[in-house]
Amino acid sequence: MDLIAQRRHMLTGACYNDLTPELVEARARAVHLSDRYNDSFGRPQGEREQLLRSLLHHVGNGAHFEPRFRCEFGFNISVGEKFYANFDCIILDAATVSIGDNVLFGPRVGIYTANHATDPDERTAGACYARPVKIGNRVWIGAGVHINPGVTIGDNSIIGSGSVVTKDIPSSVIAAGVPCRVIRSITQDDRTGFSAF
């Protein structure tokens, strides 16, 4: 099975063989391209975005990862406009990872779509499956957050530092903890009157 067919199979959520030569080569490509991107720090933003576009499925204008950024394949990741990730972001993208506009990541955020088989014989043989992750618009993910397979985080929400997100988080809430849970809604009372102008 070629890489395109394997990718389609992975995206269905069915078990796939993580050890095939095509997937090993695709991972090596992602390491090479992410190294080029990371090493371009300080160069003009347009050049850096072009490198990022060669790695990821979709890149909005103004997208930026601080070094060091790592992903598993890259071809299943879409980031929106004005996305910013602080240093040491890791994304395992065997399934789709969709990140909206104006999203902020603190340092050392990890997104994991892939999981290994439960059965030890299947796991040793390379059996994996993956579930998509979706992050809405204007979301803030705190430092050291881990986002697990199959999670959706709604628009305008905040995930507190050190959280482990194992289930969907609705829009316009502050959520935190291990496992992550909703603390409260974001309301008009959170407005401070700040203006950048």
Distance CA 139, CA 99 (A): 9
CA 191 and chain centroid, separation: 28
Three-state SS for 108?
Answer: coil
Residue 111 near residue 97, CB atoms below 8 Å: yes
Residue located via tokens 């397979």: 149
Backbone angles phi, psi at 77, to 5 degrees: -110, 130
The question of whether 58 is a catalytic residue gets the answer no
Catalytic choice (9, 57, 64, 116): 116
Which residues are part of the catalytic machinery? 116
